[in-house]
Amino acid sequence: MLIIPIYAKVSIKDKASTDSVINSDGWRGYNGLVDFGYKRHFRVHHGKNEFARGNSHINGIESFWGYAKIRLVKFKGMNKDMFKCHLKECEFRFNNRKQNLYKFLLGNFRKEPLN
């Protein structure tokens, strides 16, 4: 499943195909997604004390952003050109957080050395 944070509907066409399943909260900025061709847009309304409806929830992306914020705030700022690299590192760490990263990376470097 592709999880993409959607901040503005004007740029969503560049980030996700219209065949994507979009799970969002009830923020009114998402109101026009169906008009942009996204037929599978599912919402949960936190304001109505709804946090999941069947398989529709945004807990995964909220968990990731919580993790990323805690990790990135330690830098006390960074060059905006490097933000994507730091975010990709957070993504890697988040997706592999249950593994011993030292052993994981060591195994990968043995298979595919950097030289």
Ranges of each domain in the chain: 9-48, 61-111
7 vs 110: which has the higher pLDDT? 110
Q: What is the pLDDT of residue 106?
A: 92
- Roughly how many angstroms between the first and final C-alpha of the chain, as a whole number? 33
Q: Do residues 32 and 13 make contact, with C-beta atoms less than 8 angstroms apart?
A: no
- What would the pLDDT profile of 8-42 be if each residue is shown by its tens digit? 444 667 777 888 777 777 777 777 787 778 887 77
Span 75-94, mean pLDDT? Answer: 88
Mean pLDDT value across residues 29-58 = 72
Q: What is the pTM of this model?
A: 0.55
